[in-house]
Structure 1
Amino acid sequence: MPVIHPNWERPPVNMVDGYSLEMTAKDVESLKSTATAIAPETPIAVTFLPGEEPAARIEATRLVRGLGFEPMPHFSARRIRSTDEFETYLAAAVAEAGVKRCFVVAGDPSEPEGPYFDSSALIASGAFERAGISAIGIGGHPEGHPNMSKDQCWAVLEEKCTQIDQRGMAPLIVTQFVFDADAVLDWLAELRARGIEAPVRIGVPGPAGIKTLMRFAARCGVGASASVLAKYGISIGKLLGSAGPDRLVERFERGFGPEHGRVRLHFYPFGGLEKTVAWINNYARAH
C-alpha cells in the first residue's frame, strides 16, 4: 500500500496533530503570510472552483509545495470539459508542484460540461496512476448525501476505495465539514464495521462569523438543525458574532478510539486561513 503521508505513520499527540487545510487560488497571499505558523509538511488541498483559470490553481499548488507543504489539488469531474483539459492540468500539477495526492469530486453542476459524469469516471480513466499519483482523496458523507440514499452512499464509497486500491494507489476519505460530532462517530464506527480501512479526514469549519457558517452549510447541504447547532455552540436565535469548533473538536478528543481507525482533521477556513491556523495552534498548546 502506498504511503499517504508521514502524519499517518505515528499516533497523534492531540486531536489537531497532523491536520490538513483547504484553500482556494485566491488565498495565496494569506498562505504566504501564515506559512510560518503552519506545521511543516501539512497537506493543503487546493479547491476547483468555477470561474477560475487553471493557471491560478497551478500557481497556488506550486506555492504550497514551495513553502514546504503537501499539495492536494481538487478535480471537479463535471466541470472538466475534455480529456485533454483534465490530463493537461494533472500533468502540470505533477510537473510544476510535485503533486502525489489528488482529491476527486463530482462537482455542483447537475449535468457534466465534458466527458466525466462523476469522480468515479476520473478514477476509471487511469490518468492518475499513469501520472504517478500515489493517493486519491474521495468524499465521505457522515450526514448523508442529498442525491443518494444511505445504502447508495456506502456502495459508492466501497467501490471507489476498491478501485483506487486495485489501481495501485491509496484511498483517503475526506468529509464535508460537520457540526455534529456524534453523527461522525457513529458513521466512522459503521465505516470500519463494513471493512473500509482507509484513513479518514473529518471536515471541521474554522472559526468564522455565524452567518458565514450558516451560508456555507446551506450551500454545501450540511445538516444544521437547531439541535445540532446547539451541540456545536450556535443558537438559532443569536446569529450575530462568531463561532469556533472548540466543542466539536473536544468531543472528538473524548470520543475517538481504536475502533474508529486512522482519523485526522481537515479544516475549512471559512473565516480565513490566519484565524483557522491561529485557532489550531492555540488548541494544540492547550492540549
Structure 2
Amino acid sequence: MNDLLRLATLPSDERACQALAAPRYELLPLADLQQAADALPAGAVVTVTCSPRHGLERTLAASETLAAAGFRVVPHLAARLVRDRWHLAEAVVRLTSLGIDECFVVGGDAEAAEGDFATGLALLEALVELPTRPNRVGVPAYPEGHPHIPAQHLQQDLEAKAWLADYVVTQLCFEAAPLLAWREHQRQRGMSLPIHVGLPGVLSRKRLLGLATRLGLGASTRALGRQKGLVARLLRPTRYRPDALLEALWPWLGDVAEGFAGVHLYTFNQTADTRAWCEAQCRRQCAWQSPQSSPSL
C-alpha cells in the first residue's frame, strides 16, 4: 500500500501529523541555495523553482547539486523557458540519469515563450509522449486566482492537466477560508488528484507581504495586512508564522479524498526558521512521533 493510501486509513489527527511531519520544502536556486539546503533534514523532499531571470539551466544545475547531497529533488520545468521537444527531452534525460524521478510543470513567469511551449499544459502533453519521463509530475493550482488568467480558464486548464499529472500543489495563501472553499469546489467537480496545500514559511512580515503582492495573491494577502497593528508590525522586523493557518487547516491535513494530502512549504530559502517552526508544531501537535522518522509523501 503506498503512502497516500495508508494515510487514508489513519484517524484524522494521525493523518494530519504524518502530513506535517513530511513536508515538501520549496527552494530558490540562488546564491544561498547550499546554505538553505544545509538547514533541512537529510533526505527531505525539496522542490527547485525556475525563473525567467536565471533560466532552466540554473534549476537543473541546482537539482544536480541537491540530488548529489541525498535530497529527493523535484525540479520545476517552466514551459516558456523550454525551447522545443529536443530541449525538453535533453532536460528529462539529464534529470533521470541522476535518479530524479519527479518534476513540477508550470507555465512560468516569462512574458513570452522562448520556444514551442506557451503553457504548462502544452509542456505536459509533450512530456507524456517522451520515451523517458519522470514517474511523477505535479502541477500548480491557484485558489485565489491568477493575476493574468481568468478564473474560468484556470479551472479548465487544471481539469485538462488532471489527466496527465499525478498531484496538485496550491499557490500559497494566508487564510484557510479560500483554500477550503476552493478544495470543496474541486471535490464537487470530481478532482481525484492528491492536493498538497501550499503554506508560507517563517519570514519577516514586510518581506512576505511584498512577495505576496508581487505574486498577485488575493484576499488572504489583504487579510495578512489587516492583522492587528498593521503599520507598526510591518515597519518592525517581526516575523510571520503560519500557526493560525495551520490550526485552521488541521482537520483537513492528510485527508486525500476531501482535504489536502500533504504540506508544501514556500521557504524563500529561509529554511532554518521554517524547519524549526515545522518541527516545533510536530512536537506540539504530534508528540507521539518525530518528523525525521516519518515517511515522505
Q: Same fold (TM over 0.5)?
A: yes
Q: Distance in 2 between matches of 1:49 and 1:224?
A: 25
Give the structure 1 partner of residue 242 of structure 2: 245
List per-residue Cα deviations over 1:167-217 (Å, max 9, x = no partner).
xxx521111111121110111111111110111111111111111101111
Cross-structure match for 1:66: 68
Cα offset for 1:28? 3.3
Q: How many residues align?
A: 274
- Three-state SS of the structure 2 residue aligned to 1:202 is strand
Corresponding position of 2:290: none
Query: What residue number does 2:176 align with?
Result: 181
Q: Which moved more, 1:132-141 or 1:221-230?
A: 221-230
Q: Where do 1:1-287 residues align within 5 Å?
A: 6=3, 9-10=6-7, 11-13=15-17, 16-26=20-30, 27-35=32-40, 38=41, 41-52=43-54, 54-96=56-98, 98-126=99-127, 130-162=131-163, 164=164, 170-223=165-218, 228-229=223-224, 235-236=230-231, 238-239=233-234, 240=236, 241-254=238-251, 258=255, 260-270=258-268, 272-287=270-285
1:275 and 1:153 map into 2 onto residues whose CA distance is 33
Give deviations 1:115-155, integer Å, cap 9, x for gaps. 11100111111357522312211111111122333322221
Instruction: Report the Cα distance in structure 2 between the residues aligned to 1:147 and 1:72, rounded to whole angstroms.
Output: 26
Q: 1 CA distance for matches of 2:273 and 2:24?
A: 15
CA contact (8 A) 2:89 2:130 kept: no
Q: 1:29 to 1:128 in 2, by over 3 A?
A: farther
**TM-score w.r.t. length of structure 2:** 0.82
Q: CA deviation at 1:250?
A: 1.1
Displacement over 3 Å in runs of 4+: 5-9, 53-56, 126-129, 224-227, 230-234, 254-259
2:56–2:82 contact (8 Å) kept in structure 1: no
Letter in 2 for 1:136: V
Per the TM alignment, residue 230 of structure 1 is displaced from its structure 2 partner at its CA by 5.8
- Decide whether aligned partners of structure 1 residues 233 and 217 sit closer, same or farther in structure 2, where only a CA change above 3 A counts: farther
- Identify the range of structure 1 (50-59 vs 187-196) with the bigger mean alpha-carbon deviation: 50-59
Q: For residues 206-262 of structure 1, give each alpha carbon's deviation from its aligned partner in whole angstroms, at most 9, with x where no partner exists.
A: 111111101111111112567521677772553022211111111111455856244
Q: Hey, what's the Cα distance between the residues in 1 that align with 2:3 and 2:149?
A: 34
Q: Percent identity between the aligned chains?
A: 26
The answer for the alignment partner of 1:167 in structure 2 is: none
Q: Cα gap change, 1:230/1:33 in structure 2, threshold over 3 Å: closer, same or farther?
A: same
Gapped regions of structure 1 (runs ≥ 5): 165-169
Q: Does the aligned pair in 2 maintain the 1:213–1:270 contact within 8 Å?
A: no
Instruction: Tell me how large the CA RMSD over aligned residues is.
Output: 2.7
- 1:272 partner amino acid: Q
Partner secondary structure for residue 245 of structure 2: helix
Cα distance change, pair 281–133 in 1 and its aligned pair in 2 (3 A): same
Counterpart-to-counterpart distance in 2, 1:174 and 1:232? 26
**C-alpha distance in structure 1 between counterparts of 2:72 and 2:192, whole Å:** 22
Distance 2:81 2:254 in 1: 38
- The amino acid across from 1:264 in the alignment is G
Would the aligned equivalents of 1:233 and 1:243 in 2 still touch at CA under 8 Å?
Answer: no
Structure 2 residue runs of 5 or longer lacking an equivalent are 8-14, 286-297
